Amino acid sequence: DAGITQSPRHKVTETGTPVTLRCHQTENHRYMYWYRQDPGHGLRLIHYSYGVKDTDKGEVSDGYSVSRSKTEDFLLTLESATSSQTSVYFCAISDSVDRVVAFFGQGTRLTVV
């Protein structure tokens, strides 16, 4: 199995609460990405990281923040969850040489009620 895991795999939370999703890799890849997948939209980039403490916004970053304090972990935080953030969240990693997205995590299904 690829060295990338997401936790939790499933979560139900209430509107207005903060939520943190974790992506952990053992591949020592430089680039990490958070995507959300919704019907009719494919995968949309939320935030990405190009190194420790180096992050940038993607297409749909409003309401989300990220942190990367070490190479292996990339955290996605929903500061105050809303129903529109109900989605499946995927983490992905790529290496430094040509930024091929090598692996995706298994996904986290988040439901905001």
Partner 1 sequence: GIQVEQSPPDLILQEGANSTLRCNFSDSVNNLQWFHQNPWGQLINLFYIPSGTKQNGRLSATTVATERYSLLYISSSQTTDSGVYFCAVEGSGTYKYIFGTGTRLKVLA
- Binding positions for partner 1, rule: CB under 8 A: 31, 33, 35, 40-45, 48, 50, 56, 58-59, 88, 90, 92, 94, 98-104, 106-107
Q: How far is the CB of 69 from partner 1 (least distance, A)?
A: 19
Give least dist CB 97 to partner 1, A: 11
- Cβ proximity to partner 1: between 1 and 14 the closer is 1
Q: To the nearest whole angstrom, how small is the minimum distance from the Cβ of residue 26 to partner 1?
A: 17
- CA distances in angstroms from 71 to 16, 37, 89, listed in the order given: 30, 24, 20
Closest distance between partner 1 and the C-beta of residue 16, in Å? 28
Q: Edge-to-edge, what's the strand order for the sheet holding 4-7? A: 4-7, 19-25, 73-78, 64-70
* Residue given tokens 């969240």 in the structure block: 89
CB-nearer residue toward partner 1: 7 or 17: 7
Report the b/e string of 63-82 with b at 16+ CB within 10 A.
ebbbebeebbebbbebeebe
Dihedral sign, Cα of residue 10, residue 3, residue 46, residue 41 = negative
Residue number with CB closer to partner 1 (48 or 74):
48
